[in-house]
Amino acid sequence: MRHSLAGRAESQLQARLLAELRDEGPQSKAQLADSLQVSRTTVGAEVVRLGELGLAIEAGPAASRGGRRSTLVDLSPEIRFAGIAIGATGLSVGVTDGRLTTLAVRHRDCDIKQGPEQVLALALETTREVMAEVGVTLLSGAGVGVPGPVDFHRGVSVSPPIMPGWDGYPVRDAVSRDLGCPVVLDNDVNVLAIGEQHAGVAKAAKDFLFVKIGTGIGCGIVVDGDLYRGVDGCAGDIGHIRVDDFGPTCACGNTGCLEAFAGGAALARDATAAARSGRSDVLAAMLAERSELSAADVGLAVSQGDPVAVQLIRDSGRRVGQVLASLVSFFNPGLIVIGGGVTAIGHSLLAEIRGVTYRRSLPLATGNLPIVLSELGSEGGVVGAARMVSGAIYSSDPSRAV
């Protein structure tokens, strides 16, 4: 079994060196010296120290650039991170190497309303299964995403609307104690945004929004390459922007929230009402088979040409587009990525969101604004969570996760 617990960077230069190796791959000491704008001697000394910390290795001679050959430097092959992405109705766990290549992933169904003890027990059990699959006994770190507001610095959930029993629960410390490694905790949409930045369609974007439409709705905000959490960690909570003075009661207790109109739970609620009232024979037949409907069933009904389901998707997309148009006017992003479980419905939802956003925003703000679907799926959360904890391990500041 592979042992992979390592130390943490001790200086900003070490942090920059590790991030360079993570993001750009193995490099010679000469290349690292050029990239970091320090001397080759300084790089050599730092590589020696990072080797003692179990974070980097000398990997043989580099290709000749003329004169004396430099030494190739790489991240330690012992580094292993876990990414734990917990959603409202399921969780995904993966183990990566130091460069965040996913080695194995497992998905499990769960209900966030079961409470932190039961859900985290399942997450930790799944983590140990994945660790055993890839032959790891100790982790260098683990990142965790949960579907609600998080105090990033304290590592706790704070008054999460769809997570009863989680308020103030020490998620980070509980997971760290069980796995025996450093852990970072963040909101699931922030984790997805970082995953998209690292391995998805936002790799080349400096300023973008990641909009998750699942059971709830949230937005990850990346500004000049860095995740923006806000003063208290709740930036991007767009699901609770009021879009109507009246309407269904939201999980947060208010009425008229975007999430109460357009989230996955809202789509399932409206589809069920349409089935029971006899407005949709297709949805009624599905309800008779399943006893309850989901947002995925609405997408299936759309594929069968059901006009009621098509209208539900259009209404949902229109509401989301209205809010995004306001965000575009305020933030002027270079890219909007749409992800989350509801996006499995596909291009009918995306087309409506695009149409409303473009129509309601200034031409200058949308002339070069792609609005695209994420291609990472649930693995985006795993990669994003691993990326976050790598940022903490590869940094001299334990609170920093990039």
User: Global pTM?
Assistant: 0.92
Instruction: Answer whether 265's CB lies under 8 Å from 239's CB.
Output: no
| Closest C-alpha among 121, 91, 87, 129 to residue 108 | 91
Mind listing the pLDDT tens digit of every residue in the chain (402 residues)?
555 556 788 999 999 999 999 999 999 998 999 999 999 999 999 999 999 999 999 987 766 665 566 789 999 999 999 999 999 999 999 999 999 999 999 999 999 999 999 999 999 999 999 999 999 999 999 999 999 999 999 999 999 989 999 999 999 999 999 999 999 999 999 999 999 999 999 999 999 999 999 888 999 999 999 999 998 888 999 999 999 988 899 989 999 999 999 999 999 999 999 999 999 999 999 999 988 999 889 989 998 999 999 999 999 999 999 999 999 999 999 999 999 887 777 788 899 999 999 999 988 888 889 999 999 987 899 999 999 999 988 875 544 554
Residue with tokens 């879009």: 243
Q: What is the CA radius of gyration of the chain?
A: 23
Pairing of strands 335-339, 80-86: unpaired
Q: Which helix (H) or strand (E) holds 49?
A: helix 40-52
Return the H-helix or E-strand segment holding 296: helix 295-303
- Tell me the C-alpha distance between 35 and 16, whole Å: 10
Task: For residue 69, give the nearest of 80, 58, 79, 78 by alpha carbon.
Answer: 58
| Spatial separation of the C-alpha atoms in residues 188 and 185, rounded to whole Å | 9
Helix, strand, or coil (residue 342):
helix
| DSSP H helices in 135-210 | 171-179, 188-199
Instruction: State which amino acid sits at residue 30.
Output: A
